[in-house]
Every structure is written in C-alpha cells, then in structure tokens.
Amino acid sequence: MNDFSDVKDTFSDLVSNRRMPHAVLIEGGTQEKRQNAAKFLAMYAVCSSDTRPCGVCKNCIKAKNMGHSDIYTPKLSGKTNIISVEAVRELIKDASIIPNDADTKVFILYDTDKCMPEISQNAFLKILEEPPQSTLFILTAESKKKMLSTILSRVQVFTLKNEKAFDEQASTLALEIVEGILSLNEHKLLLATAKLNNRVVFKDTLNVVSEYLRQGLSQSVGNNLQSDTAKAIAKKLTRQRIIGLIELSSKAIIRADRNVNMALLTTWLCGEYRRISWQR
C-alpha cells in the first residue's frame, strides 16, 4: 500500500494549519499521482485520529481501500465517460445528507477537465457557492486551465510537481549549495543543505552539484566554459579541493541510499563541504 510520500509535501501547509477547505482542485503530476493525492486528502478528511491521516484507524483503512461510506465518486455515463448534469444533481442531493461514520463527507471527482463538460461544471457550481457543512469536494484535473474560471475561484488549487519541475528544483538547490560552498558565510551552505530533507531530492541535487564541480574543474585546467558558476568555482578553489568535493558528493549519494537519518547526513555533508573547501 502506498505511503503517500510522493504527494504528502503538496499538502503540508494544509495539514499543519489543520484548516480544511470545502473544495480543492488537484492538478499537475501524473494521473496516478493525482489519484493518490485525492486519496490522501480523503483519508485526511475522514480520519478520526489526532494526527491525520493516521493510516490505521477504521476510517483511514476504509478510505485507503476506497470502501468508506462517506467517500463518494460520481458515476460516469455515456460512451465518453462524462459526469452528467444528472450525476451532479444526484451529488448535490447526497451532499446535503450528514455523513455516516466520519465527521466529513468527501466527494472525489476525477479528471474533471475531461469528464465534466461545461454544462456539468455549471451545475456543480451551485454547490460550490453554498457548500453544506462538513463536506469536502476533491477535483482532479491535468491542468486547471481547462476548468471554468467560476469553478477555479471557489476551489483551493494544489499543483503536483511533474518530473520536469523536479529537475528544476534540483538545479536551483544545487546552485544554492555551490554558492554556499564558495561563500565565506557558513550560514548560506547550512540553509541550502537543510533543504535536502528527502532522499530523492538529496541524490538528484548532489548529482547536479557534481556536474557544476566538474565544470569548475574543467574551467580550472584551462577550458573556458563561459559559465559563471564554473568560473566562480575555478577562481575560488584549487583543483585539489574541487576533486575532493566531487568525491565527497559521490560518497554522500551512496550514503543516502543506505537507510541513514537524513538530518544527520545533511549535517555531515555540510561540515565536510566546508572542511574540504576552506580548511588550511
């Protein structure tokens, strides 16, 4: 069973504020990720424990298996699998009835950009304008751009990261780390490495850091790379130190694969980066 680790981060603000909106739209990512995210939120909404979603209470387990009596997904109809206006009306009727087991009644509408024609979206608008107490509507869509603006103004949008955005995150973070290594201010590196709190981000980022360092090494042996980062590395660090940093990055990636504590690993990494770059 999925542990939701790939979608949890998206909702961290919501979970820490403990304020559940009446309606959310989950967009971006893959279809599988969106479904997973919707399940996570549904579980969060019905969980009866203090730390939600606990994953072990009766409500959570039923939600995980999509067998919870307070979690609904409207029937799709026709050859094109749409959520018809009739299905929306049915849903509106259902929403006015109080939940059975949980405190919240959850409605999940998958792929609304494809399954909900404008006429259904307009019918659905009615309930978003005056949502009944204790209901949560979860909509998923590949992109929010395909939804009516009137719907969008009444839902809280959560965007899942796609793989490309993930690469961008790794590059941005890698640059911060390189700047931290080159900076006299130790705090900068500490802040940057603290963001490596997840194994995948850690490894992806360090691979990019290594790439920057290799470019720096290439620059320092006389190849002019025209890259500001490579130039800065070559200017501030000796070849010996750059090689040491590349080796350290590889070592850290191997360590991340073993089940070590990430906080300890990043602290160690930060200290070692500083030692190799600056120790006399």
Positions that interact with Zn ion (CB under 5 A): 47, 49, 54, 57, 60
Q: Which residue's CB is nearer to Zn ion, number 57 or number 157? A: 57
Shortest Å distance, C-beta 55 to Zn ion: 6
Shortest Å distance, C-beta 43 to Zn ion: 7
Shortest Å distance, C-beta 206 to Zn ion: 36
Among 174, 157, 89, CA closest to 123: 89
Return the number of other C-beta atoms located less than 10 Å from residue 136's C-beta. Answer: 23
Q: Which residue's CB is nearer to Zn ion, number 54 or number 232? A: 54
Q: Which residue's CB is nearer to Zn ion, number 49 or number 143? A: 49
Q: Which residue's CB is nearer to Zn ion, number 40 or number 124? A: 40
User: 68 Cβ partners below 8 Å, 6+ apart?
Assistant: 42, 46, 59, 62, 101, 102, 106
Q: Which residue's CB is nearer to Zn ion, number 46 or number 196? A: 46
Q: Which residue's CB is nearer to Zn ion, number 57 or number 262? A: 57
Q: Is the peptide bond before 53 cis (omega within 30 degrees of 0)?
A: yes
Where does residue 125 rank: exposed (0-12), middle (13-18), buried (19+ CB within 10 A)?
middle
Shortest Å distance, C-beta 62 to Zn ion: 10
Shortest Å distance, C-beta 4 to Zn ion: 13
Shortest Å distance, C-beta 41 to Zn ion: 13
Shortest Å distance, C-beta 14 to Zn ion: 16
Q: Give the CA dihedral 14, 20, 25, 30, nearest 10 degrees.
A: 50
Q: Which residue's CB is nearer to Zn ion, number 48 or number 267? A: 48
